[in-house]
Amino acid sequence: MPGNKIDGNIAAGGIYIIPLRKERIDDIYAIEKECFTDPWKKEIFLELLDYPYAVNIAAAEIEIETGIGAEETEKTEKIAGYCIFYHIWEECQIMNIAVKKSMQNKKIATKLLSAVLEYAEAENISKIILEVRRSNAKAIALYKKFGFEIDGVRENYYKRPKEDALLMSLQM
Q: Is the pLDDT of residue 112 over 90?
A: yes
Annotated catalytic residue, options 77, 91, 131, 163: 131
Give a yes or no: residue 4 inside a domain.
no
The predicted model scores a pTM of 0.87
Whether 1 is in a domain gets the answer no
Q: Which of 123, 136, 38 is nearest to 86 (CA)?
A: 123
Residue 3 lies in a domain: no
> Which is the catalytic residue, given 143, 149, 158, 163?
143
| Total domains in the fold of the chain | 1
Which pLDDT belongs to residue 77?
80
- The answer to whether residue 67 sits within a structural domain is yes
Confidence of residue 72 (pLDDT cuts 50, 70, 90): low
- Asked if 16 is an active-site residue, the reply is no
**Residue 48 is assigned to a structural domain of this protein:** yes
Q: 66: pLDDT confidence band, cut at 50, 70 and 90?
A: low
Distance between CA 166 and CA 136 in Å, rounded? Answer: 10
Which pLDDT band holds residue 126 (cuts at 50, 70, 90)? very high
Residue 160: inside a domain, yes or no?
A: yes
More confident residue, 11 or 156: 156
**Residue 44 belongs to domain with CATH number:** 3.40.630.30
> Exposed, middle or buried, 132 (CB in 10 Å: 0-12/13-18/19+)?
buried
Give residue 4's pLDDT: 41
Q: Please report, for residues 29, 80, 139, the alpha-carbon distance to residue 99 in angstroms, rounded to integers and kept in the order given.
A: 11, 6, 11
Residue 63 — very low, low, confident or very high, per pLDDT cuts 50/70/90?
Answer: confident
Q: For this structure, is 51 an active site residue?
A: no
Structural domain containing residue 165: 10-171
Rounded to an integer, what distance in angstroms lies between the CA atom of residue 3 and that of residue 74?
29
> How far does Cα 124 stand from its chain's mean position?
19
The one-letter amino acid code at 39 reads P
Which positions ≥6 away from 134 have C-beta within 8 Å? 153, 163, 164, 165, 166
Kindly report the number of other CB atoms within 10 A of residue 127's CB atom.
14
